[in-house]
């Protein structure tokens, strides 16, 4: 039986009696197989699995992106029940950010490039809401997708710096058969854009293939990604990056673990994806 709670108080009461360890999967809903994979991993590790469903207004940098973000709570609750989730926390905005709320968690260097540069304020919104969720749930572990690789790094930094005991577990990106990473935003793609969108994965594969073949010039790898993207007229490239795997600083040479990543627009829909190198 999946219990649904909506207030901090109900959540605390439900957790007081819950068997440990607790695994938390934070989501913004519109659950897909990527979320299901996180839930499955949490269930395997935990005696109690908690899923939060909250479209966090503070992490959107464009108002229309927030208002048109897909929502279907009935469907999401059915997915959670199907996956054997014990507890769903589905609060309203005022429950998470009550009147008088006035704190922002602002993570430093790792939050600045890439998504941080493209979406100013985004990671402050993410880190703030995740800090609240970590405080409320006090889970042993929390599960995040490698699909949002920089987000995982930002949350790890936040949890370490704020001495939060929840361990951050990163799970592999789940993809469609044609390589497109599952994302709630894929629902906004027109049929032509959906057909074009696997170009992100093909570009990352081009970088990976060259890296596996011994290419160590980061610019050559970025060029290889741009060349694949340039062949897709619907793809408007926002950034293409080959960055240090620990700091996300752009690289000249790929000597250690690195992250190839990109952000591409198709009409008004913005997609991101990444591929670790090493």
Which amino acids are annotated catalytic? 35
Interacting span for ligand AMP (CB under 6 A) from 30-38, 102-110, 156-164, 206-214? 30-38
Pairing of strands 269-277, 3-5: unpaired
What is the phi/psi pair of residue 54, to 5°?
-155, 115
Task: Please report whether residue 198 would count as binding ligand AMP according to CB under 6 A.
Answer: no
Among 11, 181, 229, 277, binds ligand AMP (CB under 6 A): 181
CA distance 83 to 85: 6
Give me the helices (H) in the chain, please: 8-16, 33-45, 63-67, 73-82, 93-96, 115-118, 122-137, 149-161, 191-196, 199-212, 218-230
Residues in 217-236 that interact with ligand AMP by CB under 6 A:
none
37 vs 110 by CB, closer to ligand AMP: 37
Interacting span for ligand AMP (CB under 6 A) from 1-9, 104-112, 141-149, 159-167? 141-149
Interacting span for ligand AMP (CB under 6 A) from 4-12, 33-41, 132-140, 263-271? 33-41
Among 3, 90, 138, 182, binds ligand AMP (CB under 6 A): 182
Is the separation of the CB atoms in 177 and 194 below 8 Å?
A: no
Q: At what angle are helices 8-16 and 122-137 packed, to 10 degrees? A: 40
Task: Please report whether residue 28 would count as binding ligand AMP according to CB under 6 A.
Answer: yes
Task: Please report whether residue 197 would count as binding ligand AMP according to CB under 6 A.
Answer: no
Beta sheet of 141-145, edge-to-edge order = 3-5, 87-89, 48-53, 22-27, 141-145, 167-171
Task: Please report whether residue 27 would count as binding ligand AMP according to CB under 6 A.
Answer: yes
Q: Could you list the residues that contact ligand AMP (CB under 6 A)?
A: 27-28, 34-35, 37-38, 144-145, 147-148, 171, 173-174, 181-184
């Amino acid at each position: 039986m999946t219990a649904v709670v909506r207030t901090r108080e109900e959540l605390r009461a439900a957790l007081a009696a819950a068997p440990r360890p607790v695994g938390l999967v934070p989501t913004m809903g519109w659950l897909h197989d990527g979320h299901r994979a996180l839930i499955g991993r949490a269930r395997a590790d935990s005696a109690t699995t908690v899923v939060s469903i909250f479209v966090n207004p503070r992490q959107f940098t464009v108002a229309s992106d927030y208002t048109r973000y897909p929502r279907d709570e009935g469907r999401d609750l059915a997915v959670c029940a199907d996956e054997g989730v014990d507890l769903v926390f589905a609060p309203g905005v005022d429950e998470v950010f009550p009147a008088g709320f006035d704190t922002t968690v602002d993570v430093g260097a790792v939050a600045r490039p890439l998504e941080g540069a493209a979406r100013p304020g985004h990671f402050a919104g993410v880190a703030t809401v995740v800090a609240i969720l970590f405080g409320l749930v006090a889970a042993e572990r929390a599960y995040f997708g490698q699909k949002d690789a920089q987000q995982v790094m930002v949350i790890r930094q936040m949890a370490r710096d704020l001495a939060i005991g929840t361990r951050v577990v990163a799970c592999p990106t789940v993809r469609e058969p044609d390589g497109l990473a599952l994302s709630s935003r894929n629902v906004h793609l027109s049929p032509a854009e959906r057909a074009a969108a696997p170009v992100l994965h093909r570009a990352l594969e081009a970088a990976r293939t060259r890296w596996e073949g011994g290419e160590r010039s980061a610019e050559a790898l970025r060029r290889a990604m741009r060349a694949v993207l340039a062949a897709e007229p619907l793809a408007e490239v926002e950034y293409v990056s080959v960055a240090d795997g620990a700091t996300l600083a752009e690289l000249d040479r790929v000597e250690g673990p690195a992250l190839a990543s990109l952000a591409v627009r198709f009409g008004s829909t913005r997609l991101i994806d990444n591929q670790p190198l090493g």
